[in-house]
Amino acid sequence: MDLYEYEARELFKNHGIAVPDAAVVTSPREARAAAGSLGGRVVVKAQVKTGGRGRAGGVKLAATPAAAELTARQILGMDIKGHVVRKVMLAQPVRIEAEFYVSYVLDRAAGAFLAIASAEGGMEVEEIAASRPESVARVPVDPRCGVDEAKAAEIARAARLPPETVPALVRLWHVLVEEDAVLVEVNPLVRTSTGEILALDGKVTLDANARFRHARWEGPDVTDPGVDPLEAAANAKGLTYVKLDGEVGVIGNGAGLVMSTLDVIAACGARPANFLDIGGGASARVMADGLGVILSDPAVKSVLVNVFGGITSCGAVADGIVQALESVQLTKPLVVRLDGNDAARGRAILAGRAHPLVQQATSMDGAARRAARLARQGV
């Protein structure tokens, strides 16, 4: 789960990593007022969960509150790599003497963490890493030992960072461990003209498997204008759902099968409307919740349920679909493909229900072709 920059900054601040004063706003008028409270001269930064904001024009300096209002007006609503800007952060500018790059990332293959650091931070760090890889230090971190002052000093020496960055390296490790993150990154970590070490930008990815330990993570804030309402509704029901820009709704069991289904639908000349993985659970409640979310998307013209029964029984899936149809008004054609464990019984259950909008297919390709055709017909 990626965080916005302003959320990452709050974590840094809570763990003793200094950040410039800032405010987050959603309108140009709010930007003007916030700039005034921050001293007038501010950096206006788009809040989106992607990189490349600076090159896209999403980070600009405003010299006065009036300029901050105008700049916010220009940035709000921008599309940056498919992410629409709905919030901007206004931060006090600082006089930078040097910029550094520091991060900790989970190395799943090695079963350890990796500290990545460079004495050359900023917007060009990716180009620097590609053209001069020797300028970027990569130091393995044993999760059993972590990063204490001695380990942080080792990382700083390897990356040619000044000694005064060592406390920030230790605190950044505490962010990773205590917040259950798989990535924490500061780019740039700067030394100001007065010698202060500040985090000017931050990226944090939290481990969703640790959600149960952090009550404040429970679902996205549905009042956040950056959260898609369908994704918020699905999350509130415990569904693994991602909204896409298509017309064929998709329900499957297992991330790999769902991803394959999306590809097959695209190959049939249609576009998937969502990713929805029900995993091993296909109860009536799960099916009803999934169908309810998908059918509330006005772009959806047909729905494809693609289930391969391994541990999951196709009979149980069919029972779930039949029961779900009692509580969900089916307004779009539903194509069901059941294969594997108990598939014959599952097909018989659906055939016995004989819902006029439910069709069956015996293969994934056939199901996708039928769902794509129905979507094009707008039946």
Which residue is associated with the tokens 């498997």? Answer: 209
Bin 52: left if φ > 0, else alpha if -120 < ψ < 50, else beta: left
Which residue is associated with the tokens 């993985």? Answer: 277
Residue 361: phi, psi to the nearest 5? -140, 150
Candidates 69, 185, 231, 247; catalytic one: 185
Would residue 185 show up in a list of annotated catalytic residues for this protein? yes
Would residue 4 show up in a list of annotated catalytic residues for this protein? no
Residue 228 and residue 37: Cα distance in Å, rounded? 31
Closest CA to 105 of 216, 224, 203: 203
How many helices (H) and strands (E) the chain has is answered by: 12, 18
Candidates 4, 5, 69, 101; catalytic one: 101
Strands 302-309 and 334-340: parallel
Residue 345: phi, psi to the nearest 5? -65, -40
Cα separations in angstroms, 96 against 80, 193, 343, 374: 26, 6, 65, 59
Strands 358-361 and 334-340: parallel
Closest CA to 287 of 219, 361, 237, 242: 237
Which residue is associated with the tokens 């788009």? Answer: 46
Helix 65-75, helix 28-37: angle, nearest 10 = 140
Which element (helix H / strand E) includes 265?
Answer: helix 255-267
Cβ atoms of residues 186 and 201 within 8 Å: yes
Residue 139 and residue 344: Cα distance in Å, rounded? 55
Question: Which residues, in sequence order, are CB contacts of 198 under 8 Å at separation 6+?
Answer: 18, 19, 20, 94, 189, 190, 192
The catalytic site residues sit at: 101, 185
